Amino acid sequence: MDYTLLFIQTLNGVQLGLLLFLVASGLTLVFGILDFVNLAHGSIYMFGAFICASLTYYLGNFLWAVLVALPLTGLVGYFLERIVARHLYDKDHLDQVLATFGLILVLDTSAHLIWGPEGISVPLPAWLDGQVEIFAGAVIPTFRLLIIGTGLVVAGGLYWLVNFTRLGMLIRAGASNRTMVSALGIDISTLFALVFALGAMLAGLAGMLISPITEASIGMGGQIIITAFVVIIIGGIGSMKGAFVAAILIGLIDTLGRSFLDDIFQLFMSEAAAETSAPAVSAMMIYILMAIVLAFKPLGLFPPKVR
Amino acid sequence: MKRLLGAALAATMLTAGAVQSAEVKIGFVTTLTTGGAVIGIDQQNAVNLAIEHMGGKMGDLDINLIFGDDGFKPETGKQVTDKLVKQDDVDFVAGYIWSHVLLASRKSVLDAGKFLISANAGPGPVAGKHCNENFFSASWQNDQTPMAMGEVLNQNGVKSIYIIAPNYAAGKGMVAGVKRTFKGEVLGTDMTAWPTQLDFSAELAKAKASGAEALFIFYPGKAGGAFMKQYQQAGLKETLPLYTVFTVDALSLPKFQAANFTDVLGSQFTQQWDPTLDNDQNARFVADFRAKHGTYPSFYAAQAYDSMFLIKSAVEAVNGDLSDMDGMRAAMKAATYPSVRGEYTYGNNHMPIQNFYLREVVVGDDGNWTTKVVKTVYEGHQDTYAAQCGL
């Protein structure tokens, strides 16, 4: 067993998990509190990436671009809530799915019109573009460590926000019983808009962080949104803790599956068969996990207490 | 009344039919939405340029061109192909970037007795067991380019490699191709989910841990850009040199240049075409494409441009009599049209027997990043599936 490789792959898994958490936390906030199924959450992730990519060229530095792009993405979220989402809160979930699916098409085409089809490659500043040797042989790109760091800070920040602030109290109350919250005289309209904008910023941040690794491109949101839904279903819809645990779990399972499944398969089948079947099975593993979790805990790992 | 209407309808259709005979109808299936659109639009530009160069005519016939969007999905590709064949009743269907889309769509065209011209994809089955007299490739068979790269690896004295490629028809062909010619040891092969997976951290860590001397990859489109960046971020350039096919192209180079990603300069890959190949057709194509679109054409564009001239040679050989399938087939089989890659011939399976070159990324005379030919790896190379083809 190569422990250095195992360590590196675990870090890679945690990094993927934290990125997923950024997307899923926004999704679970909106789904859990506003009871609103937002398929277009992935498109906001894409918008965050594109806004940040443009700003990187305009400002000349990736980190400044992230700082400016964050509030801008929040604003995009705010206006989407005002213009589209707001009118759908009292419709049922199927209507919301249809409407936000339409929104995906609109947003993807808008991005196509604004930035063109070719996608934007995002350069990193030199000090982030290198590698860090954690111990002998265990080398990891500096930027991946930054993603892990940022993910943990945001997770900590959200934990503080949800558990120790007035806004967090309202969010938790809203997740449990939104009618009661509005009956107590809370301005639910502003709260909803804030939550939506916060969710958009989180998704946007994930898009910004992934863009130097891949690039800002049309349709990038469609790939992550499905996994993000799996995360919030496993974690329990509306639960921030659940989203965190499930995201890390899925990141690890996906990465470790891709790394070691073919070696494991080779113990009992031919090399050629293992090479073909391992990627197919590792692509299914997160869904298998979801099925198992739902079989034993239909509401997910950490369902919000009252619903 | 109903009968009258029916008669009127039939009459209209007859007149429409009469109008149709003065034109050649060509369907071109490519990817015009999703992230793959950047390739499709490059092909579309090349096809439109080809028609402009032809003056809008093939012989005496007007060209009626219909583009179809496969949305990067086999099922959508088949649908749009069915529409072109049945509803538009085209004479030729050309295009197809992706092997899995071509495999899903080929029957629709061939069963209807129409010509199918691939402007990119060349999966093994189409060249071998399922070869067809009405199928022609204006590109290559998938295995050929990586086979050339396997030779380059041998020539460079590489003893062991690690392979990372996407898990779909073309990815498997590429892996089979390089394994066929590479004489050293393959220390591991990772097939990744396609086209969804764009993060290759786990695979790169495995490749590094394997202790291989070199890394071979195949990642077309935006996945290629993502891979190149992650390879650079992982700092593997010194310890694990990279050998690629169809990964760095004229579509990703301007983006790399904008991001000042200098690591890509000097990287080498094999191909049947290069913008610097010295022939009149290529010089005109590259110059006019650049004048019009500001960028170098990609190999996808070059093949799309060729596919139109291949069709033109068929139409002109039969003087516009599109019912003469045998005549058109013979004309295309002779490959007498001016190809931007220079002269080549067709094998029994209608796959090109052609040269393969080693290309290198350089800074062009005008400061734009482009490629040049380092050497010829294969001369007149035929794919290995030709033996399985009964034609």
pLDDT of B130 strictly over 50:
yes
Residue B73 has a pLDDT of 93
Residue B20 has a pLDDT of 46
pLDDT-derived band at B19 (thresholds 50, 70, 90) equals: very low
Least confident of A170-184, B5-19, B68-82, B102-116: B5-19
pLDDT of B261 strictly over 90:
no
Q: Distance from first CA to last CA of chain B, Å, rounded?
A: 53
B317-338 tens-digit pLDDT = 999 999 999 999 999 999 999 9
- Say if A205 falls within a structural domain: yes
Residues on chain A touching B199 (C-beta within 8 angstroms): 16, 210, 213-214
Q: Who among B35, B205, B260 is closest to A217 (CB)?
A: B35
Residues on chain A touching B252 (C-beta within 8 angstroms): 121
Do the Cβ atoms of A119 and B37 come within 8 Å? no
Q: Does A292 touch chain B (CB under 8 A)?
A: no
In CATH, the number for domain B2-140+278-354 is 3.40.50.2300
pLDDT of B15 strictly over 60:
no
**Residues 171-210, chain A: which have Cβ within 8 Å of B?**
210
Q: How many CB pairs under 8 A join A and B?
A: 115
Do the Cβ atoms of A131 and B201 come within 8 Å? no
Q: Average pLDDT, stretch B176-199?
A: 92
pLDDT-derived band at B18 (thresholds 50, 70, 90) equals: very low
Do the Cβ atoms of A283 and B222 come within 8 Å? no
Residues 6 or more apart whose Cβ sits within 8 Å of residue A127: A142
Identify the residue whose tokens are 């067809």.
B132
- 3-state DSSP assignment of residue B216: strand
Residues on chain B touching A16 (C-beta within 8 angstroms): 199, 201
Q: Average pLDDT, stretch A26-33?
A: 87
Residue B129 has a pLDDT of 94
Classify residue B93 as exposed, middle or buried by CB count within 10 Å of its CB (0-12, 13-18, 19+): buried
* Sign of CA pseudo-dihedral B111, B115, B120, B125: positive
Q: Average pLDDT, stretch A254-271?
A: 88
Angle made by CA atoms B368, B292, B281, in degrees to the nearest 5: 85
Angle made by CA atoms B72, B76, B81, in degrees to the nearest 5: 110
Do the Cβ atoms of A259 and B202 come within 8 Å? yes
Q: Does A126 touch chain B (CB under 8 A)?
A: no
A115-A121-A124-A130 Cα dihedral, nearest 10 degrees: 170
Do the Cβ atoms of B206 and A16 come within 8 Å? no
Residues on chain B touching A45 (C-beta within 8 angstroms): none
Interface of B with A (CB under 8 A): 33-35, 37-38, 41, 167, 189-193, 196, 198-199, 201-203, 205-206, 208-209, 222, 225-226, 229-230, 232-235, 251-252, 255-256, 258-261
Residue A1 has a pLDDT of 58
Residue B16 has a pLDDT of 46
Q: Which fold has domain B144-271?
A: Rossmann fold (3.40.50)
Residue B17 has a pLDDT of 45
pLDDT-derived band at B5 (thresholds 50, 70, 90) equals: low
Nearest-by-CA chain A residue for B259: A123
Residue ranges matching CATH 3.40.50.2300 in chain B: 2-140+278-354, 144-271
Do the Cβ atoms of B233 and A213 come within 8 Å? yes
Q: Average pLDDT, stretch A256-264?
A: 89
pLDDT of B13 strictly over 60:
no
B209–chain A nearest CA distance, Å: 7
B205-252 tens-digit pLDDT = 999 999 999 999 999 988 998 999 999 999 898 899 999 999 999 999
> In chain A, where do the E strands start and end?
131-135, 138-141
CB A204 within 8 A of CB A70: yes
Number of domains making up chain A: 1
- Say if A304 falls within a structural domain: no
Residues 6 or more apart whose Cβ sits within 8 Å of residue A69: A48, A51, A52, A55, A204, A208
CB B348 within 8 A of CB B391: yes
> Predicted ipTM?
0.89
Do the Cβ atoms of B202 and A255 come within 8 Å? yes
Residue B335 has a pLDDT of 95
The DSSP secondary structure of B103-152, one letter per residue, reads HHHHHHHHHTT-EEEESS---HHHHTTT--TTEEESS--TTHHHHHHHHH
pLDDT of A14 strictly over 90:
yes
Which residue would you say has higher pLDDT here, B249 or A275? B249
Cα dist. B129→B162, B181, B351, B385, B391 in Å? 30, 22, 13, 8, 10
- Disruptive mutation site among A214, A284, A287 for chain B (greatest number of B CBs within 10 Å): A214
Q: Does A57 touch chain B (CB under 8 A)?
A: yes
A195-211 tens-digit pLDDT = 999 999 999 999 999 99
Residue A145 has a pLDDT of 95
Compute how many other C-beta atoms are within 10 angstroms of the C-beta atom of residue A149.
Answer: 12
Q: Does A130 touch chain B (CB under 8 A)?
A: yes
A259–chain B nearest CA distance, Å: 6
pLDDT of B22 strictly over 60:
yes
pLDDT-derived band at A248 (thresholds 50, 70, 90) equals: very high
- 3-state DSSP assignment of residue B169: helix
Residue A2 has a pLDDT of 80
Tell me how far apart the alpha carbons of residues B220 and A190 are, in angstroms, rounded to a whole number: 46
Q: Who among B191, B206, B255 is closest to A5 (CB)?
A: B206
- Alpha carbons within 13 angstroms on the beta-carbon side of residue B172 total 15
Q: Average pLDDT, stretch A89-108?
A: 93
A13–chain B nearest CA distance, Å: 8
- Whether pTM > 0.95 for this model: the answer is no
pLDDT-derived band at A188 (thresholds 50, 70, 90) equals: confident
Residue A307 has a pLDDT of 47
pLDDT of A273 strictly over 50:
yes
> Which domain covers residue A215, as residue numbers?
19-128+147-296
CB B177 within 8 A of CB B144: yes
Tell me how far apart the alpha carbons of residues B374 and B216 are, in angstroms, rounded to a whole number: 19
pLDDT-derived band at B306 (thresholds 50, 70, 90) equals: very high
- 3-state DSSP assignment of residue A236: coil
Backbone dihedral region of A151: left (phi > 0), alpha (psi from -120 to 50 degrees) or beta?
alpha
DSSP 8-class letter at B11:
H
The DSSP secondary structure of B276-343, one letter per residue, reads T--SHHHHHHHHHHHHHHSSPPPHHHHHHHHHHHHHHHHHHHTTT-TT-HHHHHHHHHHT-S--TT--
Nearest-by-CA chain A residue for B187: A271
Q: Average pLDDT, stretch B145-155?
A: 96
Do the Cβ atoms of A259 and B206 come within 8 Å? yes
CB B247 within 8 A of CB B218: yes
Mean pLDDT of chain B: 91
Nearest-by-CA chain A residue for B166: A279
Least confident of A18-32, A178-192, A252-266, B64-78: A178-192
- Say if A140 falls within a structural domain: no
Q: Longest C-alpha distance within chain A, in Å?
A: 66
Tell me how far apart the alpha carbons of residues A257 and B141 are, in angstroms, rounded to a whole number: 32
Do the Cβ atoms of B191 and A259 come within 8 Å? no
Residues on chain B touching A278 (C-beta within 8 angstroms): 191
Tell me how far apart the alpha carbons of residues B66 and B94 are, in angstroms, rounded to a whole number: 10
Tell me how far apart the alpha carbons of residues B364 and B370 are, in angstroms, rounded to a whole number: 6
CB A12 within 8 A of CB A260: no
